[in-house]
Amino acid sequence: MTNTTATDPDTRPILGRARSAMSGLTTVEAAIRAVVEQLRQARATVRPEEDVAELALSAVLAGDPVPDDLAARVLAIRRSNETAFAEAGVLGPLEHRLREQLLALHRDRVDDALAVLGAELDTVISQAGPVLAELGAVDSADAAINAERVAQWRQAVALSARYGELRQAQRVLVSAAVTPQTHLSDRVSAEARALVDDFGTVVAAGAHYPEVGTGVNRTEVRTGEVRIFSGRLVTSDHSDRAARPRPWLTGDDLVDLRFACRADVREWVPTIKALTDARDEHERTQQAAARAAAERRPGDDDPPFLRTGRRMPPPPAALLDRLAREELGDPA
């Protein structure tokens, strides 16, 4: 039995650990929270001056005389409101400046946070390799009990959950960098999710899944495709065939972790530049292939093949001579 443990000694959520590596982020986030709360309190103290008239009306209807201090009450409310408005007038721009600082931090320091995720990925993969090797083909708790691999199963489940948490943290961090947001949120934009899932998980993803970057939904069902070949319409029927999910993103963390531990797979947590470079290089390759296909002429196609797979031999010279005489007549 392996002696590897399922968790890192630092048990904080991986996203919090990664964010703590972004120098100054914690301070700016705390300042934003404090300013927002103070601004809320200032706005809550604002009262309409009409409240004094309502109080006077209630007193008069109850048979009491008109209060002598109506003006003083109005002036007190007015002074209080002016103080609140002045405070809000300072806190509002301050909050805006702090959120600008937050945007700059996400843009400039995100690679520091991603480096933490990269180190975590190395730890998870190194620990998962021996565990999954001992676990073998076991893919359920019942199978683990029958195979007497309960300890390995528990370790694999914990490591796969950690792996899934790591990838979600990566999406959150990338989203904050490539689709800037001024609010404290773990929201992931569709653009950032596609970027990480297609190019930020596996190096050279196209070698394992050629459809990366196409925007095909994994639950989408393809319909028949019609194209022209040698002057004829040819239909390729793909109905009833669902698009394949990415092999590293199946929705099952343990299955994804097994793929990540394969010998022919290189998992990574790239910097923002490396991530966008991988996307751009893939797009250039796709565009070059599409351009070459569009510029291909009918004469560029290979010679036809016989049904047996062998190339058709050229017609014999005697046959060509006889056909020529039949068409043009005997030269004699």
Per-residue pLDDT of the chain (332 residues; tens, 9 = 90+): 444 444 445 667 999 999 999 999 889 989 999 999 999 999 999 988 888 888 888 878 888 887 888 888 888 889 999 999 999 999 999 999 998 898 888 889 999 999 999 999 999 999 999 999 999 999 999 999 999 999 999 999 999 999 999 999 999 999 999 887 666 678 899 999 999 999 999 999 888 888 787 654 443 434 445 444 454 444 454 444 446 788 999 999 999 999 999 999 999 999 999 999 999 998 888 888 888 877 776 656 555 555 555 566 667 777 777 777 777 666 65
Rg (CA), the chain: 35
Tokens linked to 141: 């708790």
Specify the pTM.
Answer: 0.69
Contact 284, 277 (CB under 8 A): no
Is 79 in a helix, a strand, or coil? helix
d(CA 140, CA 312): 56
Give the domain ranges of the chain: 14-209+246-299, 210-244
Alpha-helical (H) ranges within 136-234 are 141-146, 150-178, 190-199
